[in-house]
Amino acid sequence: MNPTPTLFTLIAAFASAVFAALLLFPWKKGAQRWGLVDDPGHRKIHSEPIPLSGGPAILSALLLSSAVGWIYLILSSNVPLFVDLDRQFSLRATSFFATAGGAVAMTLLGIFDDRFELRPANKFLGQLAVAIAVTIAGVRFSLFDHSPVLDAAITVLWILTVTNAFNFVDNMNGLCAGLGAIAAGFIAALALLNGALMIAFSAAALAGALMGFLPSNYPRAFTFLGDSGSHLTGFLLSVLSIEPSIWPTAELSPLRFLTPLILLAVPLADLCWVVVLRTLSGKPFYIGDTNHFSHQLVRIGFSRPIAVAILWFAALAAGGTALFLSLSR
């Protein structure tokens, strides 16, 4: 059988979802054994400790699906789709391995934060180190043709911003995972439209892994993403969303930033909202509160699951807008 790019992308998403769902069980037990749990307390609605196993399970699913895909690629080396995929991988192998290494590093940083509650400055320094490392490895925006240093600086800022946006938005069951799955799904679609198979398969695998995790987290949570999962999700989306082939109007440098901004509009807007509110009230912007969009929706009368679903629909609208811009360029 000669699979089409669309079919193989769907297979990648499905396989990653199955792996994530199955791997949650051993990771939940491991999280409980190692003290990776979210205890009841201030601003918490659960009455018993919940394992923070989402991040390790999603990372494991991504690594496993990548390994299976790699083996399939080797065994199907004469199939046209895989010949094209192998060519694309050869051109961006360094970026691929840098992204994989960064994903592992961000997940480990999140695990340390989940277990030991790192000081905000230490956590930020860890995020900064990973962002700089992957940028040096070649993962970066190409907004300014004659200023690679400025491109690198914007890339580091983008990675830090998106990573923390998803870390901040992980405040209700299913919200962070759902927003991540939606964004990753649209990135996969945009990449497919432009023949960027590596990006399409990677984004589809992330979307699938998050969907495989979601039933255990929404509407009732039996496990949480934890900082490990939100860091992993935000980091991978920050990298995948700056792939030039998914941007509309690529010939107009000032507009190249538009597609990733639209794709991730909901978590980015939520981040800006709470940072401004906390700053105006004289509080440190990194101290959590209940002023996120999700909390505001609950305050006006929506249940928590409905509030999360509303923000999912907002993310679907944002992704649809980015897809429309790409189709109409």
pLDDT at 248: 53
Global pTM reads 0.93
Q: What parts of the chain have a pLDDT lower than 50?
A: 250, 252-254
pLDDT at 180: 98
Q: Which amino acid is at 70?
A: W
CB 171 within 8 A of CB 273: no
Q: How far apart are CA 226 and CA 67, in angstroms?
A: 25
pLDDT at 258: 82
Domain ranges of the chain: 5-327
pLDDT at 277: 95
pLDDT at 253: 44
